[in-house]
Amino acid sequence: MSAPRPLTPALWLDPFRPLSAADAERLACAGVKPIPVSTLDELQAQLTDTPTPLAMLVLGLGSDTSLLEDALLLLKGVQSTLPVVCRLERRHLEVAVAALQAGACHALVADDWSPKAWDLAASRAAAHTPKSAASAQQAETAAPMAPIRHAQHSRDDAAVRSVVYVDPISRNLLALAQRVALAPVAVLIEGPTGSGKEVLSRVLHESSPASHGPFIGLNCAAMPEHMIEDMLFGHEKGAFTGAVKDHRGLFEQAQGGTLFLDEIGELPLTLQAKLLRVLQERTLVRLGGERSIALDVRIIAATNKNLRESIALREFREDLYFRLSTFKLRVPALAERRGDILPLIARLLGRHVRGTQGWSVSPAAQAQLLAYPWPGNVRELENVVQRAMVLCPDHHIDTPHLMFDDAGCEALMQSNFQMPAAPAAPEAPAVDLQLAQGVPANAAELLALLHEDDGATMPLQAAVKSNEHSLIRAALESSRSRIEAAEKLGISPRTLRYKLARLRDNSLSQLANA
C-alpha cells in the first residue's frame, strides 16, 4: 500500500468566498492543506509567529488586484518571499493578467478544485521560492530577527493597510501618491481638517525606498515656538537652563526616513526661516552646538490653509512654500469621494467586533449616511459611527441611531427613537462584491456588516423617554471611565460633567452617580 500523499501547507485568505469544510476536503484530495486567515493582520501574525514551513499564499480576488497589492506590501514588510497564488471568478479572468504583472506567481479560477490545477499552482509556487543553500542559510539567520522588525514597523504597516481608497477619485490619488513616493522630493499635502492627510503621508512613507526608516510626525500648531525649535533641531548639554544632556531633535530622529510636519501653515515666521535654511543646506546645528550634522530625511508637510493667501498676508514665507511644495497632493473632502463612506464605516465597525457578534447597518441608514454632506470629513464620520454604536444595543444600526453634528442633530435629539430588541440569529448576509472592490485588508465579515435583508423585520422595545439621557446612560454603562464615555459621545469630559450635573438637578441621581 502506497504512503499517503504529503499535503502542501498554504495560507488561505479569501474575503469573497469563505472556505467551507467541503472545500477543505477537495483541497486535501488535491494535495493542499489550507491554513485559513480572515484578515491581513491575522496573515501577518501567521507569517511571523508560525514555525511551520509554508509553500504559498492563496489569495481570493474580486474584480481588481487591491488585496494582492496589500498582501505583497505586507510580505515585504515582514521580509517574506512566500509566493502568492490568486483565485478569481471566471467573469474576472482579465484581472489574472494584472495579478501576474503585480507579482503573483500563478492564477486559477475559483471553481477549479482539481488535483491537476493545484499541482500546477504548487509547482509554480515552488519555482518562485528561493531554494539555494545561501538563501536557506540567510533565511534561517534572519528568522530570529523577523519578530523584532515586525514589532518596529507594525504600527506603520497597519496604518497603510487601514487606508480605504475605493472611490475613483481616491484611487487616482493613491496611485499618484505611490508614484511620487518613489522620488526623493518634498511633498505638500493640502486638504480640509479631518480628511486624512496624515494617512496619505504614511502611504507616501511606506511606498518609498525609505519605508524601513522611521516615520516621525510633529503638529506645528500644538506647541509653543520655543518648544518646536528644540523638538525639531535638538540641543547640546548646557545650551540653556535645564539642558542637562544632549537631545536629538526630530530631524535627527528621522534620519533615513520621513519627517511629517502637520499644520505647517501655523509655524511661526522665525522658525520658518530656520527650517528653510535646514532644507536648503540639508544640515543642521543643534541649539548651543557648533557641529554641523548632515541630514538624510524626506520632508512631507500638510496644511488645511491656503498657503498662497498666507503668503499674500505675509504669514508664510514664499521661498519656504516653494521648497516644501516640490510636489503637491490634495486630499478631497469626504463629500467629494462618497464611494469611500461605506467602506470606511465597515472598517470602523470592524475595529469593535467582539467575539462572533458583528455590526450591521440597515439600507435606510446607509442611504442617510451617503446623503449627509460630512463637513467634518472622516473625523466626523468616526464620531457618528461611535454614537450609533452607543445607541444601538443589538449591533444593528438604523436611522434613529444616527446623530450628526450639524443642525439636523437637534431635531434627532428632540425626537424619541426606538431601540430594537436583539433578533434571532439571522442567516449570514452575502458579501456585496461591488462594495468589496478595492477595500484593502477587508475580510468577508467586515464587508458583510453593511448589508442586511431589506425585508427583515424585528420586534421593538418601548420607546426611550429621552434621547440624550439614554445616550449618556448607554455610554456610561459601556465605558470604564467618564473620559472614555465622553469620547464615545463625541463631547469633552467637561461637557459630560455639565450634563450629569443637570441630570442630578432633575433628580436623576442614579444616572449621575453611575
State pLDDT tens for residues 63-92: 788 888 888 888 887 778 889 999 888 777
Task: Tally Cβ neighbours within 10 Å of residue 38.
Answer: 16
How many angstroms separate the CA atoms of 329 and 200, rounded?
9
State pLDDT tens for residues 477-492: 777 778 877 777 777 7
User: By mean pLDDT, which of 50-59, 150-159, 265-274 is the weakest?
Assistant: 150-159
CA distances from 73 to 70, 104, 185 (A): 5, 12, 22
- DSSP-derived secondary structure for 235-299: B-TTSSTT--S-B--HHHHTTTSEEEEETGGGS-HHHHHHHHHHHHHTEEE-BT---EEE---EE
Has residue 138 got a pLDDT over 60? no
User: By mean pLDDT, which of 231-245, 263-277, 429-443 is the weakest?
Assistant: 429-443
Sign of CA dihedral 100, 104, 106, 107: negative
Greater confidence (82 vs 501) lies with 82
- Cα–Cα nearest to 307, from 416, 469, 189: 189
- DSSP-derived secondary structure for 290-323: --EEE---EEEEEESS-HHHHHHTTSS-HHHHHH
In three-state secondary structure terms, 383 is helix
Complete domains list, the chain, with CATH: 8-144 (3.40.50.2300), 168-334 (3.40.50.300), 338-512 (1.10.8.60)
- Cα–Cα nearest to 302, from 278, 269, 253, 266: 266
How many angstroms separate the CA atoms of 349 and 357, rounded?
11
- Cα–Cα nearest to 251, from 265, 234, 235: 234
- Check: pTM over 0.85? Answer yes or no: no
Has residue 423 got a pLDDT over 50? no
Please state at what angle helix 269-281 crosses helix 225-233, rounded to 10 degrees: 10
Has residue 470 got a pLDDT over 70? no
State pLDDT tens for residues 369-407: 999 999 999 999 989 998 998 888 788 899 888 988 764
Looking at this protein, which amino acid is placed at residue 90? R
Sign of CA dihedral 442, 443, 446, 450: positive
Has residue 228 got a pLDDT over 80? yes
Burial 120-159 (b: 16+ CB within 10 A, else e): ebbebbeebeeeeeeeeeeeeeeeeebeeebeebbebbbb
